Amino acid sequence: MHQIIQQTAKNNFAIFIRLYLLALKSFFRSVINIFLGIVLITFVIFVWLLFHNDEPFLLASAVGAIIVRNGIHLFYRTLDMHKNGGLKMRLAYTPLSPWILPVAHIVANFTINLLLSCFLVGATLLFYPSQRTVAANVDWLFFVLAAVSLWILGVCMTFCVAVFVPSSVWGLIISIIFFIVSWNFLGITFPYHIIATYAGLNIALYLFPPRYMLNAMQAAWVGQRNLVFEDQNFLTGQSNIDYSVNFKLGGTMFVPFGVTYGIIILLTIVLITRSIKIRNQSKKDGFGSSLIQKLSNQYIRDIKRCTSFEKLNSLRTGHLAERGINLKKEIIFKPDLKVKQPRTIKKGKHNEDN
């Protein structure tokens, strides 16, 4: 028994590694992912720094934008592709643990964000000496904690979108909105010291969950745990632009972290409750009978009663819809009506002479 458990665990780990590597290959072999995930953001950052090389929040905002894009938008695309592509369903009929696929993609997504963030920070500090001066004041502990917390929040939000939004189109739109808001209103398209001057926009951004960790990353990047930054270069006349910002989050890091982890805990409870409810509903009906056995027997009886391939395809589509599966590439059953030609026997030379 112990050997069987060890062999099962070994097989699960081997499949986990394969799925993990497959997710990494899928990302780095996709031109769209490379362009949107790193090339576009790096290009915008470098262009901004050509004109404002002392901008203190730009690099931190770019790292946050990468995490939001890959942790929400890319992660949702991956979940939706495997749900509608049939991979999730096929793995469900194997003895593998149901947690292998999501955990493999979560770990792969974290790896992608880590690699791209390190690349962006390293390239920026390498080519712009002024940013190395800014980086000398970074509070690395809170910056890393805020970045990881932002990623965890993004993963929880993505799972909620994937579970509670049945339409793939609307789910993709929601994930893109998260990225667009982070890109435009939290320090990339418009510098954050300008965004902070608009009171109405700041009030609206309180309703945007990623805002709290993005602000914590920006404050940690300039070494201000009180979330208030006063531009000393401007005060001493070394700069013509005042980058001073008051993030208006209570003057302490406990406020943004508390709000973020409160949202994470709430989303986690919702997802666990939903998972338990679906699992119970898939096992027993209202009378305590086995729902799986009942549906299986009914499905088999309906298949036996089918009199045409059209009815068989309709039955299969309805059965998958009841289970919440909507395959984009449907398999259509078609009859093979090819008539085999009778085999001709060639007469030999001896028979022709006779």
pLDDT string in tens for the chain (354-residue length): 445 445 556 677 888 898 899 889 988 888 888 888 888 888 988 988 888 888 899 999 999 999 999 999 889 988 888 777 666 666 666 667 778 888 899 999 999 999 999 999 999 999 999 899 889 989 999 999 999 999 999 999 999 999 899 888 999 999 999 999 999 999 888 889 899 899 999 999 999 999 999 999 999 999 999 999 988 876 666 777 888 899 999 999 999 999 999 999 999 999 999 888 776 655 554 544 555 555 566 667 777 777 777 777 777 777 666 655 555 544 554 555 454 555 555 555 545 454
Q: So what's the pLDDT on residue 62? A: 92
The Cα 292–Cα 274 span in angstroms is 19
The Cα 119–Cα 304 span in angstroms is 59
Contact between 26 and 107 (Cβ < 8 Å) = no
The Cα 170–Cα 241 span in angstroms is 41
HSE-up of residue 179 (Cα within 13 Å, Cβ side)? 21
Q: Is residue 96 part of a domain?
A: yes
Q: So what's the pLDDT on residue 141? A: 95
Q: So what's the pLDDT on residue 305? A: 74
Which residues contact residue 83 at a Cβ distance below 8 angstroms, ignoring those fewer than 6 apart?
A: 162, 325
Q: Is residue 164 part of a domain?
A: yes
Q: So what's the pLDDT on residue 287? A: 45
Q: Is residue 354 part of a domain?
A: no
Q: Is residue 223 part of a domain?
A: yes
Q: Alpha helices, DSSP H only, in 222-344? A: 232-235, 254-283, 291-305, 309-322
> What pTM does this model have?
0.79
Q: Which domain holds residue 38?
A: 2-280
Q: Is residue 25 part of a domain?
A: yes
Q: Is residue 343 part of a domain?
A: no
Number of domains in the chain: 1
Q: How far apart are the first and last CA of the chain?
A: 75
In angstroms, how far is CA 351 from the centroid of its own chain? 75
Q: So what's the pLDDT on residue 125? A: 92
Q: Is residue 37 part of a domain?
A: yes
